[in-house]
Amino acid sequence: MAKTTKKRRGPQPTAKAELDVPVRVGQTVEVEMTGLNHEGAGVGRIEGYTLFVAGALAGERVRARVEHVKKNFGFARLVEVARASAHRAMPPCPLYDRCGGCSLQHLNYEEQLRHKQQIVRDNLRRIGGFQVEGEGAITVLPTLGMSEPWRYRNKAQVPIGEENGALVGGFYAEKSHSIIDMSECLIQHQANDEAVNVVKKLATELNIRAYDELHHTGLLRHVVVKVGVKTGEVMVVLVTTEESIPQRDRLIAAIREQLAGVTSIVQNINPDKTNVIFGKKTVTLWGSDVIYDYIGPIKFAISARSFYQVNPTQTEVLYNKTLEYAGATGTETVIDAYCGIGTISLFLAQKSRHVYGVEIVPEAIADANRNAKLNGVENVTFETGPAEVVIPAWKEKGIRADVIVVDPPRKGCDEALLATILEMQPERVVYVSCNPSTLARDLKMLAELYEVKEVQPVDMFPHTGHVECVILMEWRGEPK
């Protein structure tokens, strides 16, 4: 009789246990909204369980359909507003409920500003452990907003696709790469909308195919437009999969003829299977390699790939507050960590003895030096490298900072840089932040030696959940 063996059986799959929460996916619930989160979604609770409802406002009672649940919180889609907030506004954008880019259009603008001030307060209290109310509290000033909070963006990056034989461009539908065509965006400068519409029409007429990311075919991937708000100059960037463009000369001539203000037409070649917009190679097809714009009195050259603040009106507000907090009188030495293309450095140089800027991206330092030369500013020095390495090296050379300014990315400051600041002990630290949560974390560490004197929120991106801040910190020790 042949010997038989039994197959060993591993752990058998079991049905996924349902979470012990008071709601279930697909259920329609009625819930009282008590606040807004940092992304602008309404926050409500059912039997103590937190439910986030996009489109709902604090003080409203809404009906919502539960779409996703986790152990401590869930997400629901707004079905009906049973009792509306007095602060509810009618979104003027016809694509508002499909786009998701402006998550606060349904909240009137004055209340948006109050909400952003509260978001900053909440993060300072919850993450930083700071007192934000009562005697001895940190001063968080009212958010500085815009008198006209529309049409403020000076840059558009629009993916291109095809529909019924014509090119379309707009935004991706939620949780997909299906492009929803749009002819205008109410937070974009009108020149951006005009340029994108012109390119879509002309490329369709000239039979230039859009890129199909699924099959990796076609040519035109994105249209990127940049506008100098003060100068009126417009740059059109065509992001393509290969260098050759069918009927290129006709396309360039037609763009020049039909688009007022265009001074630069650029091509960027990106042949890779990626969702990154730009490739490594950029060529100028017509006109200048750059356009120019001003923030206050400072002139900046903007290339196809260089970083430049997208709301120059509010950037001037932000930088003037930075200059004020720096307290520069003409005798101070200032270090600008994360200096980028030198925007803050050049502002600070107006009233400082000397400004030292450091940035890890070599191309940004090249732009910073070009912008300093463009403005005839000689009391600045830029260096490439990590701030936490370069700044101590400057200290070894005898460079002592009276003020250190940091303007980090959303992830906040490198911990080594914060330690360097504490070791350098400048009289003042000015922190420019685009993320209240990492700001609160970093201020907690700096508070070992520095007192947070004032926090000024600035609304750089109206109708979105984002808020920027400028913070003044002063050294607690004896005068040096």
C-alpha pair distances (Å), 396 with each of 153, 199, 345: 42, 54, 22
pLDDT higher than 50, residue 3 = no
pLDDT of residue 330: 95
The 3-state DSSP class for residue 379 equals: coil
Counting residues of the chain whose pLDDT is more than 70, the rounded percentage is 95
pLDDT higher than 60, residue 403 = yes
Query: Is 459 known as a binding-site position?
Result: no
Q: Give the per-residue SS3 of 40-89.
A: CCEEEEECCEEEEEECCCCCCEEEEEEEEECCCEEEEEEEEEEECCCCEC
Whether the CB-CB separation of 206 and 246 falls below 8 Å is answered with yes
Query: Which residues in 241-307 belong to E strands, given as ranges?
Result: 262-269, 281-287, 291-295, 298-302
Mean pLDDT in residue range 372-386: 97
Beta strand pairing call for 234-240 and 220-227:
antiparallel
Does one domain contain both 458 and 367?
A: yes
Query: Is 181 known as a binding-site position?
Result: no
Sequence-distant (≥ 6) Cβ neighbours of residue 302 within 8 angstroms: 226, 228, 235, 290, 291, 292, 293, 308
300 part of a folded domain: no
C-alpha pair distances (Å), 136 with each of 120, 302, 454: 17, 44, 12
352 part of a folded domain: yes
Structure tokens at 80: 């009906």
- Which residue, 342, 381, 340, is CA-closest to 359? 340
10 part of a folded domain: no
Does one domain contain both 360 and 478?
A: yes
Does one domain contain both 268 and 334?
A: no
Does one domain contain both 83 and 206?
A: no
Q: How many Å is the maximal CA-CA distance in the chain?
A: 101
Place of tokens 């951006």: 192
Does one domain contain both 457 and 384?
A: yes
434 part of a folded domain: yes
Q: Give the per-residue SS3 of 321-349.
A: HHHHHHCCCCCCEEEEECCCCCHHHHHHH
371 part of a folded domain: yes
- Which residue, 196, 262, 260, is CA-closest to 235? 262
pLDDT tens string 150-178? 999 999 999 999 998 899 999 887 767 78
Which of 247, 265, 295 corresponds to the end of one domain?
295
Does one domain contain both 142 and 160?
A: no
Q: Which domain holds residue 166?
A: 155-295
pLDDT higher than 60, residue 16 = no
Place of tokens 């070894």: 396
15 part of a folded domain: no
Q: Please give the tally of structural domains in the chain.
A: 3
Which of the residue ranges 251-255, 395-399, 435-439 would you say has the lowest mean pLDDT? Answer: 395-399
pLDDT higher than 50, residue 31 = yes
Does one domain contain both 260 and 369?
A: no
Question: How far is residue 409's CA from residue 397's CA, in Å, rounded to a whole number?
Answer: 28
pLDDT tens string 256-290? 999 989 999 999 999 999 989 999 999 999 999 99
Does one domain contain both 237 and 356?
A: no
What is the pLDDT confidence band of residue 412, given thresholds at 50, 70 and 90?
Answer: very high
CATH number at residue 78: 2.40.50.140
pLDDT tens string 214-231? 899 999 999 999 999 999
CATH number at residue 236: 2.40.50.1070
Does one domain contain both 321 and 469?
A: yes
pLDDT of residue 289: 95
Instruction: With 0.85 as the threshold, say if the pTM is over it.
Output: yes
Does one domain contain both 172 and 44?
A: no
pLDDT of residue 38: 87
Question: How far is residue 380's CA from residue 387's CA, in Å, rounded to a whole number?
Answer: 16
Sheet with 166-172, strands from edge to edge, namely 179-181, 166-172, 155-163, 220-227, 234-240, 262-269, 281-287
- Average pLDDT value for the chain: 93
pLDDT of residue 186: 95
Does one domain contain both 75 and 141?
A: no
- Annotation says 434 is catalytic: yes
Query: Is 338 known as a binding-site position?
Result: yes
Query: Is 407 known as a binding-site position?
Result: yes
pLDDT of residue 15: 38
Residue 171's φ and ψ, nearest 5 degrees, are -135, 160
CATH number at residue 351: 3.40.50.150
Which of 64, 88, 112 corresponds to the end of one domain?
88
pLDDT of residue 478: 65
The 3-state DSSP class for residue 447 equals: coil
Torsion of CA 183, 186, 191, 197, to 10 degrees: -10
Sequence-distant (≥ 6) Cβ neighbours of residue 50 within 8 angstroms: 43, 44, 72, 73, 74
Whether the CB-CB separation of 186 and 93 falls below 8 Å is answered with yes
pLDDT higher than 70, residue 13 = no
pLDDT of residue 480: 53
Per annotation, catalytic residue among 93, 99, 185, 434? 434
Amino acid at 381: T
Does one domain contain both 358 and 408?
A: yes
266 part of a folded domain: yes
pLDDT higher than 50, residue 11 = no
pLDDT of residue 112: 98
Which of 88, 107, 123 corresponds to the end of one domain?
88
pLDDT tens string 188-197? 999 999 999 9
pLDDT tens string 56-87? 999 999 999 999 999 999 999 999 999 999 99
pLDDT of residue 435: 96
pLDDT tens string 298-331? 999 999 998 899 999 999 999 999 999 999 999 9
